[in-house]
Amino acid sequence: MGLLSGTRLVESPNCDVRPGNASPELIVIHGISLPPGRYGGPWIEQLFLNALPAEADPYFQTIQHLRVSSHVLIARDGGLTQYVPFGLRAWHAGTSHWRGRDACNDFSIGIELEGTDDDAYDERQYPALADLVATLQRSYPSLAEGWIAGHADIAPGRKTDPGPAFDWRRLERAVRMRGAAFRREVLA
């Protein structure tokens, strides 16, 4: 079914079947905060549920129309919420390209970290993310090669997350310590 055991589940309607029943081959790391630069609150979840109230913040008026989701959100405290089963296509990458292929949503798993490009991510998020990566690699042989990209890597010029504040080396060490693979192709 593609659900994490023991993880809070909130089902987003913003998903569909992967074309040709494609298997996930790539993990995409994102950064999100709503409103930008503020943490906590119900706003990310409401965005993923198409229930973001435009009147709650002026920024929300500019994004209220979006229909987006992620497979999992890792909050600042390291807590996980799953929004889309891994076997389905979450709408997280938008217009994207990776290793000669377009439409990364078709063959990727999207993981949102609560954070911004410029604020340090919380230390509790790295082990939670590394545990999730290792679990996904064990569960999906198609992820065994360990390909991980940032949103900026698959949508350069359009997206910048998870940004310079994200410590890729720290994540790589944590993933490898769990016996999982880590491969990243950085765009020039």
Choose among 83, 73, 70, 14: nearest CA to 40: 73
Q: How far apart are CA 127 and CA 156, in angstroms?
A: 27
Annotation marks residue 55 as catalytic: no
* Nearest alpha carbon to residue 30 among 88, 87, 96: 96
Active-site position among 55, 112, 114, 123: 112
Residues annotated as catalytic (active site), given as ranges: 112
